[in-house]
Structure 1
Amino acid sequence: MGIDVTELHIDPELNDALARQRTVDHIVHTLKQLPDGWIVGFQAPGFRPLSAGSGAVGPNGSWNFYVRYWVWGYDDMPSDDVFDMFTETWDSWGWIDSVQSDNPRKRSAYGQTPDGYRFDIRRGVHGGVSMGWMSPYYPASGSAYGGVMPSIITKDGPQSYEQPQRE
């Protein structure tokens, strides 16, 4: 996501379970501002499955949590309009840092929430819209959670925890 780890700090109050829950909270809060029927999840129709994870990648061996989801359920709306609705919502909250298009067939935007969660949204070459969320870093001692992330989220919250089938 183009993040400079020298700018990051370790949140001593955060752990894996809280990072996962707060990520879901940010996604649900966003979806509540958007049209009904939109879905965020690991396995969008016609696209490869995405996933979540964490790792010892931060300062002083700290960990963070990262998840990438597809967006679907917007029927015949052009994916550029979906991308714009997300970025306009986040920008109205002061969360967007930049919107880029390094390739005329792709678009991306990057931002950060007030509590330090970084995110991006991308409209890919084939029209799919995906988003990634990365938590602030937390002490490695808070990383042994092992919980799963919802596989489908709507504005009403998590709808499924059934993980996608990978071949």
Structure 2
Amino acid sequence: MQSQQKAESDLLRVYGRLVSLTLILIILAVIGFKYFATMPQLAARSVELEHTRFLNVLAMVRSQWLSLGKPQQMRLDWEVFNEQSVNNDQTSVLMSVQGWPQPSHLDDQSCQLLWQQLMGQEAGDESLIGSYFAKDNSCRYRSKNGDSIGYQLNSGRVIFLTSS
């Protein structure tokens, strides 16, 4: 009789552990689902912050351009001299007649380089991919989630577009 009670007790203990483990897995699944559901919102917020930062940088560059007497190209104050960067094109930014930073060439790579110069990002940072659009003479910086920042080279206008 005691061995049967001991077997039943062991069986109930195992059953209790299975129920506890199942509940813990369900709770972890719910938490994981909610976490991964918010990831696109966090990415969108990141691009939105970059948009605001880009507007501020453009205002500072234009102000610096005006204070320096409207040069055709200028070196940005926040760029640190890099000994590996022998080419002066990488350390100076071309400016339009209206005072807006311009890429050195009208292509995707130059738009990407312009973003890196203005925002101070390393060349390996691929958070936003730059593309040139000849139709409206603009650079568009697109994130992996589809949000984008458009920069019209003629007017300095910046447009933030969301994918949702």
**TM beyond 0.5:** no
- Name whichever structure is richer in strand by fraction: 1
TM-score band by shorter chain is 0.3 to 0.5
TM-score normalised over the length of structure 2: 0.35
Q: Which has the larger radius of gyration?
A: 2
TM-score normalised over the length of structure 1: 0.34
Q: Could you say which structure has the greater relative contact order, defined with CA pairs below 8 angstroms and 6 or more residues apart? A: 1
- Name whichever structure is richer in helix by fraction: 2
